[in-house]
Structure 1
Amino acid sequence: MTTVPLSAPPDDLTDTEVARLRRLAARSHAVITAAQQPGGAYPACTSFSAYAGYAWFRDGAFTAEGISRYGDVASADAFHDWCARVLASRADAVRDLVRRAGTAEPPTVKEMLPTRFTYAGDAGQDPWWDFQTDGYGMWLWAVLAHARRHRRPLHAWLPAIETAVDYLCAFWDRPCYDWWEEHVEHRHVSTLGAIAGGLAAAADSGHLDPDRADAARRAVAGIRSLVAAEGTVDGHLAKWLGADAVDGSLPACIVPFGLVPVGSPVASATLAAVQRDLDVDGGVHRFRADVFYGGGQWPLLSALLGWNHAAAGDTASAWRHLRWIAAHADSHDELPEQVADDLLHPEHRQEWLDRWGPVAAPLLWSHGMYLILADELGLLDSRPQDFS
């Protein structure tokens, strides 16, 4: 079994550590596929009280990207099949939502597509911060990246892709909850970036009809103009339009979603601002005001920032993030949602422990992001693997 060369490994990286990092990649694949449901859904975390029984397009899109890069085509296919069924079952509802988008009585927040679904693809019955558009853009990007990487036919997924494109073209500029299920009153730059990334991938795929492709490109152009005018401050991307704070999700606007080009002044300033305000020793916080479990560091955000550093040619920083993530795997080589080494607001940790119990672990999104960064640094096998 051949492997690609490691990408500029640090001088102190030993063969023993390389083997350990590769074992964590294999363990990440095992954790994800063991939790994957028979219908294809990737649960967020099967053991966490608030997440058990539910799957998100957002978490799943990145998890599927990691699995696709690892070479498990069947697992990624099954997830995308599940997403396509979820959207196909709502095609009529989306057509009605789109029809009403420009009327005097547009759809209410409660009428919009949910952000999380049961494993069977139904809307959840528990109260949740449910109107988020980012996941639909992320799924478009992920399914098209997977299809291109493994030369998968798109005909089974195309109706759902068209439904997602129509939905996002109609509602991309509407305020909604962000990646963290907060602040429904704002238009979040990371959300806009995910939508732009998905719509651009769909428009460039060559599989949309001309009218849809044109609509997608117009939406992407509108997003770029809006973010340039209202979503940047001091030369870097901001948490939401008109804000001056940054968010750990903002690097996704560079890689993978391409809202701003790698190496551009805005991209470089954004990475620098995130590193300055949110990165501590390789672990990345969500945002400075974060009180969720005291505001810890998130392995998935460390992987995202590392992915961006790798794309920008800063492999030393990328390795630093990968090693930090690996150092925070537990004795079973499982990765949590966040770690408590450097809490921003420790006085709030106990209230969340009392409310929801211990931090979610293993979080499939964390493992999926580890696989992505490991692949960027040459730690994954170079050939598609047979998991049948």
Structure 2
Amino acid sequence: MRDQVQQVLDTLRQANGLYVASPSNTYHYVWVRDSCYIALSELERDNGRFESTYHSLLDIFRKYMWKLEYHAQHRPREAFEYIHPRYSANSLEEVSQPWGNAQNDAIGAFLFGVGEGLRRKKNMLRDKEDRRVISLLVRYLTTLEYWHDADNGIWEENREVHVSSIGACIAGLLAVRPFVDVPWEAMKQGLCSLYCTIPRESDSKDVDLALLSLIYPYRLLPAGLSEVIVERVEAALLRTHGVIRYPGDKYYSEDGREAEWCMGLSWLGICHALLGRHDKAALYLKRSQEVTTKAHEIPELYRPVSKTPNENTPLGWSHAMWLILYDMLHRDGQTSSID
């Protein structure tokens, strides 16, 4: 099944190495976050695809260098001032329509991927301009004071301080610190804010699927706290066809019941694999296969009452998480576990 899931994902890959989130009209855009998560499914391979995704993202940031330079010194206030997380698939221009554009986690995810690639000796930075982009993004997060900035978060909804966004920024700064200057104070402030808030996601959300990002890909938490997060997500959010994002989620809800996100099953499996629970991880892989369509497409979500996928099928992020879990369980040797 792996080949078929990969083939579907490849239909979303553009010639420049970026990915549209889904072929649907509503999701036919390039999101920084989605491309970064999808690229993680290529991280362990030496085919150049991981680097090409990041080179194209760097090209987008270079196009908006003036914005990076300005907001590296002047903190954005309105959502449209933030470094945009979403671009036209054709022109790679900012999408100008009103949107929850304050998404600090997308910048953290990008820096994390660059740092991970560099750590593996991949050719992530082509020249001085690429390195300048990274330095400006570090300054941007620092000027923004991301550790207490109310952003729209991973789900692009109401603005509040999100632990998953803080975690992404910390992980990104830590990842690039060996290669560019990163103020220690910016990381210390982030870590203090993170550990003062977890296991909550935010003031309005006690438990949230996004908290799993602190375990994978960012590996910011010790094993004991990772276990707490996984157990809370399973107890509160796990459903038959996926994992709801948080209690009370209105997106594609039916009769007061929340939509069930397919990638949550693979995400939980990855977390169990990192905790050394390979039998449990394998069960989640099986459950993920059960919600895959006959065309080997993994949806964004299933509607909770009608039990049908929504139009964002396939979703690139869902496919990438399945591939990452599959490869973890089939890789020679043991998956590196959380200590």
| TM-score category, normalised to shorter length | 0.7 to 0.9
Partner of 1:251: 212
Task: After superposing the two structures, state which structure 1 stretch, 291-300 or 308-317, moved more.
Answer: 291-300
Aligned pairs (5 A) from 1:1-388: 23=1, 25-46=2-23, 48-52=24-28, 54-69=29-44, 71=45, 73-101=47-75, 107-119=77-89, 120-149=91-120, 151-156=122-127, 157-171=130-144, 172=146, 173-184=148-159, 186-203=160-177, 206-208=178-180, 212-213=181-182, 215=183, 217-229=184-196, 231-232=197-198, 237-240=199-202, 242-243=203-204, 245-261=206-222, 263-264=223-224, 266-281=225-240, 283-294=242-253, 295-340=258-303, 343=304, 346=305, 358-378=310-330
Partner of 2:337: none
The one-letter code of the counterpart of 1:65 is: L
Instruction: String of CA shifts for 1:146-189, please: whole Å, max 9, x gaps.
Output: 343463353444233223222222221311101111111x1011
Q: Do the aligned residues in 1 keep the contact of 2:299 with 2:310 (CA within 8 Å)? A: no
TM value normalised by structure 2: 0.88
Aligned equivalents of 1:194, 1:330: Cα separation in 2: 31
Bigger RCO of structures 1 and 2 (CA < 8 A, at least 6 apart): 1
Gaps of 5+ in 1: 1-22, 383-388
Q: Do the aligned residues in 1 keep the contact of 2:302 with 2:310 (CA within 8 Å)? A: no
Aligned-residue sequence identity (percent) comes to 24
Aligned equivalents of 1:28, 1:219: Cα separation in 2: 40
- Secondary structure at the counterpart of residue 163 of structure 1: helix
305 and 117 in structure 1: CA distance in 2 versus 1, 3 angstrom threshold: same
Q: Do the aligned residues in 2 keep the contact of 1:67 with 1:371 (CA within 8 Å)? A: no
Q: Do the aligned residues in 2 keep the contact of 1:306 with 1:321 (CA within 8 Å)? A: yes
Instruction: String of CA shifts for 1:329-383, please: whole Å, max 9, x gaps.
Output: 111111110123xx2xx5xx89xx9xxx94301111111111111121125999x
Aligned equivalents of 1:358, 1:137: Cα separation in 2: 29
Aligned equivalents of 1:375, 1:147: Cα separation in 2: 21
The one-letter code of the counterpart of 1:280 is: R
Cα RMSD of the aligned pairs, angstroms, is 2.5
Gaps of 5+ in 2: 335-339
- Secondary structure at the counterpart of residue 87 of structure 2: strand
Q: Do the aligned residues in 1 keep the contact of 2:212 with 2:230 (CA within 8 Å)? A: yes
- Secondary structure at the counterpart of residue 330 of structure 2: coil
Q: Do the aligned residues in 2 keep the contact of 1:175 with 1:187 (CA within 8 Å)? A: yes
336 and 113 in structure 1: CA distance in 2 versus 1, 3 angstrom threshold: same
Aligned equivalents of 2:97, 2:26: Cα separation in 1: 9
Partner of 1:11: none
TM value normalised by structure 1: 0.77
| Cα distance, 1:284 vs structure 2 | 1.6
Instruction: String of CA shifts for 1:88-120, please: whole Å, max 9, x gaps.
Output: 12222122112222xxxx543221111201123
Larger radius of gyration: 1
Aligned equivalents of 1:307, 1:284: Cα separation in 2: 14
Aligned equivalents of 1:111, 1:367: Cα separation in 2: 32
